[in-house]
Amino acid sequence: MSELSVNHLLGIKYLNKKDIDLIFETADHFKEVINRPIKKVPSLRDITIANLFFENSTRTRLSFELAEKRLSADIINFSAASSSVKKGETLIDTVNNILSMKVDMVVMRHPNPGAGVFLAKHVEASIVNAGDGAHEHPTQALLDSYSIRERLGEVAGKKVVIVGDILHSRVALSNIFALKLQGAEVKVCGPKTLIPKYIEKLDVQVETDLRKALNWCDIANMLRIQNERMEISYFPSTREYTQQFGVNKKILDSLDKEVIIMHPGPINRGVEITSDVADSNHAIILDQVQNGVAVRMAVIYLLASKIKR
C-alpha cells in the first residue's frame, strides 16, 4: 500500500509529487463518502486529535473539525483566547499537557512562522500545520490544487496567477510550492511593495499589470490583504489598491477568455473582488470550501495510518 513520505504535514515544501497524487486519490474517495446520505466512515475510531488554534479562523477550523468527525476520530478543541497560554505557559508545555491525555495528532494554527516545525521536533504526535503566520498553509494549497484538477482535469500545464498580498500570505507560498511541484506555470501580481524580494528564486514571474495577468492565465487566485500582519502601509489606500488589483465583472467580461476565479476566504467583498464576481459562474470559491473537507480527511487519514498503534 502507498504511504506518505512524511509523518507530519508541516508545509508543501516537505512533500513530493507522489505524496500530492496520493492525497488527491484518497480525497476522491472521501469526496464520494461525504456525498452519501451517511457521510461518515469508522476509519479513525481509535485516534484522538487536538485542534489548537492560536490565531483566528472560521473555515479552516470548521473544515478540520468536520473532516475529523467524518472519519470518526475523537476530537478536542482549543482556542488561544480562552487558554492558559494567556497565563504565560509555553507552547511545548501546553501541547505536552494535552498529549498526556493520550492525543495522537495535533492540528495547529499559530501566528509564528515555523511553529509547526518546532513542535514536531519537541513532542510525540503527528503535527498538521493549519497555517503558521505568513509562512505556509499546506492544506489550503492542496484543496486549491484539488479544485483546479476537478475543474480542469489536471494541474500540470495550467497557468495560474496569484493576485494580491504575496508578501504576507501563507496561501501564496504554499500554492507556489504545490503548483510548481505539479508542473503548473505560476505568476504573481500585486503592488511591488507586496511582492517578496526572493520571488524569482521560486521560479515565479512577476506581472504588475492585472489585465495582462488575467489575459495570460487560466486561473486567478485572489488573496486578501493581510492587514493583521502589517505595521506600516504598503499602498496608498484601499481604493487605489482595488482600482489596480481588484477584479470586477467588467474586467472579466472584457477578456477574450474565460478565467476561473479562486479565493481562500475570508473575502473582503469590493476590495480584492466585487460581489458580482464572487457570486458568478467564474468563481469556484464554494467548491474550494467543499473540497477542503475531503482533502483534510485524506491528509488526516494518511498521516494516521503512519502512527504506530
Residues that bind ligand NCD (CB under 6 A): 59-60, 131, 137, 140, 170-171, 224, 264-265
Minimum distance, C-beta of residue 271 to ligand NCD, in the bound complex (Å): 11
**Residues 213, 223: Cα–Cα separation, whole Å:** 15
Looking at the Cβ atoms of 12 and 47, the one nearer to ligand NCD is 12
Could you check whether the bond before residue 42 is cis, i.e. omega within 30 degrees of 0? no
CB of 256 to ligand NCD, least distance (A): 30
Cα 214 to Cα 245: distance, rounded to the nearest angstrom: 11
Shorter beta-carbon distance to ligand NCD: residue 171 or 178: 171
Bridge partners of 273? 247, 269
For residue 8, give Cα distances in angstroms to 102, 144, 203, 285.
Answer: 18, 20, 26, 27
Q: Which is nearer to ligand NCD, 8 or 170 (CB)?
A: 170
CB of 9 vs ligand NCD, minimal distance in Å: 14
- H helix runs in 199-284, sequence order: 210-216, 238-245, 249-254, 275-278
To the nearest 5 percent, what fractions of the chain are helix, strand and coil?
Answer: 45, 15, 40
Whichever of 110 and 137 has its CB closer to ligand NCD, that residue is: 137
Nearer to ligand NCD, 70 or 135 (CB): 135
CB of residue 170 to ligand NCD, shortest distance in Å: 5
Find the shortest distance in angstroms from Cβ 27 to ligand NCD. 17
- How far apart are CB 304 and ligand NCD at their closest, in Å? 22
Burial of 243 (0-12, 13-18, 19+ CB in 10 A): exposed
What residue is closest to ligand NCD based on CB?
Answer: 224
The residue among 43 and 288 lying less far from ligand NCD, judged by its C-beta, is 288
Strands (E), the chain: 48-53, 74-79, 105-110, 126-132, 159-163, 185-189, 205-206, 219-222, 260-262
Residue number, 59 or 180, with CB nearest to ligand NCD: 59
In the complex, the smallest distance separating the C-beta of residue 15 from ligand NCD, rounded to whole angstroms, is 18
The whole-angstrom separation of Cα 267 and Cα 253 is 21
Decide: 51 and 65 in contact? Cβ < 8 Å: yes
Considering the complex, state which of residue 182 and residue 288 has its C-beta at the smaller distance from ligand NCD.
Answer: 288
Nearest to 163 by CA among 56, 252, 231: 252
Q: How far is the CB of 227 from ligand NCD (least distance, A)?
A: 10
Instruction: Please compute Rg for the chain using Cα positions.
Output: 19
